[in-house]
Chains A and B, each alone.
Chain A
Amino acid sequence: MTVCAVSTEVVADRAAVRFDLDGAWQLHPQVSIRSERFGALLYHFGTRRLSFLKSPTLLAVVRGLKSERSARTACAAAGVAAPDMPSYTSALATLAASNVICERSLG
């Protein structure tokens, strides 16, 4: 099973532009996803927090993280347009800060 590495760098700095887009990420194993019309609800069984994704594209990004080389390629694969990248990066940073997504250790 892949191990989630806790990234203190991301947690310490939630500014969107410093999220490691080129890192390998994954959905935290204790998170359940429920897709909705508006996007998705995510529930983290470890933290008992509910996250609300407001776009189906963001859900596609999050679902694709584990199989993509990096968060950046996951965004591209989900069809995120270049002008929208700041919002998506900010969203990913928020999810990383609350451990909904975590860095994948490779190998």
Chain B
Amino acid sequence: MVVALSGRIHLDEAAETTPDHATIELADGQTSTLDAPEADVTVKDVLVEEVSIDGMCGVY
């Protein structure tokens, strides 16, 4: 089934605009290097989905 979402969760799009890596500071003060999101980041790692519910019959 084709599902057209709002396009907010496509990490592979973000990969084209983010730097190769970024340094993030973790809660305990240590730093870590995070590589740019790779193509194998799956949908299950994404915690937020957004949709305009106009796209469902019966909803208005």
Which residues of A come within 8 Å of B, CB atoms? Answer: 13-18, 39, 48-55, 58, 72, 75-76, 80, 82, 85-91, 94-95, 97-98
Contact = CB atoms under 8 A, between A and B. Distances in A.
| Chain A interface mostly | helix
Nearest to B53: A50
Contacts of B46: 54, 87, 90-91
Contacts, number: 76
A50 B51 contact: yes
A15 B48 contact: no
Interface of B: 6, 8-9, 11, 14, 17-18, 22, 24, 26-28, 32, 34, 37, 45-54
Given A54-B49, A85-B27, A89-B24, 13 more contacts: A17-B22, A48-B53, A49-B51, A50-B53, A52-B49, A52-B51, A53-B47, A75-B27, A82-B28, A86-B24, A91-B46, A91-B47, A97-B8
B24 A85 contact: yes
Contacts of A17: 18, 22, 24, 34
Contact of A15 (B17, B32, B51): B17
A87 B46 CA distance: 7
